[in-house]
Amino acid sequence: MNLSYFKTFVSVVEKKSFSQAAKDLNLTQPAVSFQIQALEKTYQETFINRIGPKIKLTEAGKIFLAHAKKILEAEQRLKDELNKLEGKVTGTLTIGASNIPGEYILPRLLGRFKQLHPQLKVELEVSDTSEIVEKLNQHLLDIGFIGSIPEKSNLKIEKFYTDELVLIFPPTHHFAQAKKIALKDILKEPFIIREEGSGTRKNFEKGLKEKGKSLKDLNIVMELGSTQATISAVQAGLGISVISKLALSNLGKVLKSSRISDLNLKRDLYLAYNEKEALSYSQKEFIRFALKERV
């Protein structure tokens, strides 16, 4: 039996969808259905019951899933040992990153790693921290770079980079003339906040909480889903905001920035992966490289 059929079966179960599994595996949906049917025919069992758009594993399917995962893990270990023997970093590395590391750190880091290992294929997904954590927990990503530590998670978390949030405002704003900006100075200003789930928002809320304040004490006029959208809104004069210091490059002429003098907005960015999942040689090598070469 072709081992790719086992991979297809596991993907259908994890995605809970034939169509999503087909999309992720670059197959047609009929091809996915054919492979599942071929497995069931080979073992003379029904593994999956379709109930409308939902799928449900039979008891035989649950047993098959456990063994299919072990077989695929054994195959991966075999490949890893052979690759390690020859010093090869190959295959596909699926990485998720929150907005700041995904846009301002990972492109350079991955570029350097790819130069060393051109046979490796890298897929990078940029989303907010909470979604990256969720996909790591679901084993849909190999490695994640996130902006805050999740409250409940079995992930291995490694400190990766120390960042800082800074206040941004247009050059025409009255803050541009201020020598120092304190928390009390921004409370009544129109304020643009990042979306819930964002590491930037969580860390800003943490800084406010240390001063006995919350987002309710601010004059929030807008909630946006990315750093670039926030920058554009501030440029348009819609309010002030906080963004990562990493995002300030090339903004000197269109925006001004300042620390908030009495607010601690330093924050750590983290590398995360699932400890319970057997890491491939390529994944281990990238983690080692990332922690060594952290910018």
% residues pLDDT > 90 (the chain): 56
Judgement on whether residues 77 and 38 belong to the same structural domain of the protein: yes
Residues 133 and 273 in one domain: yes
Residues 64 and 42 in one domain: yes
From CA 262, how far away is CA 195, in angstroms rounded? 24
Taking all residues of the chain, what is their mean pLDDT, rounded to a whole number?
A: 89
Q: Are residues 276 and 136 in the same domain?
A: yes
φ/ψ (deg, to 5) at 176: -65, -20
DSSP state of 53: T
Question: What integer is the mean pLDDT of 115-130?
Answer: 90
Q: How far apart are CA 77 and CA 35, in angstroms?
A: 24
- Assess whether 138 and 169 both reside in one domain: no
Does one domain contain both 156 and 273? yes
Quick one: which H or E segment has residue 109? helix 106-116
Q: What is the CATH number of the domain that holds 262?
A: 3.40.190.10
Length of the chain: 295
CA distance readout (Å), 278 to 99, 107, 272: 27, 26, 14
Of all residues in the chain, the percent with pLDDT exceeding 70 is 96
pTM of the model: 0.66
Within this chain, do residues 132 and 10 fall inside the same structural domain, yes or no?
no
Residue 231 confidence class, pLDDT cut points 50, 70, 90: very high
**Are residues 253 and 277 located together in one domain of the fold?**
no
The HSE-up count of residue 20 (CA atoms within 13 Å, CB side) is 12
Residue 45 structural domain: 3-86
Q: Is the pLDDT of residue 23 over 80?
A: yes
- Please tell me whether residues 80 and 201 are part of one structural domain: no
Confidence of residue 109 (pLDDT cuts 50, 70, 90): very high
CA torsion, points 100, 197, 204, 218, in degrees to nearest 10? Answer: 130
The number of folded domains in the chain is 3
Question: Could you read off the pLDDT of 47-90 as tens digits, one per residue?
Answer: 998 877 778 899 999 999 999 988 888 887 787 677 666 667 88
Final residue of a structural domain among 59, 86, 113: 86
Do residue 46 and residue 15 come from a single domain? yes
Same domain, 146 and 189: no
Q: What is the pLDDT of residues 155-192, one digit of tens each?
A: 999 999 999 999 999 999 999 999 899 999 999 999 99
* Rounded distance between C-alpha atoms, residue 120 and residue 192, angstroms: 40
Q: Which of 86, 117, 141 is the last residue of a domain?
A: 86
Whole-number Å distance between alpha carbons of 103 and 14: 28
13 and 28 in a single domain? The answer is yes
Name the residue with tokens 């084993």. 139
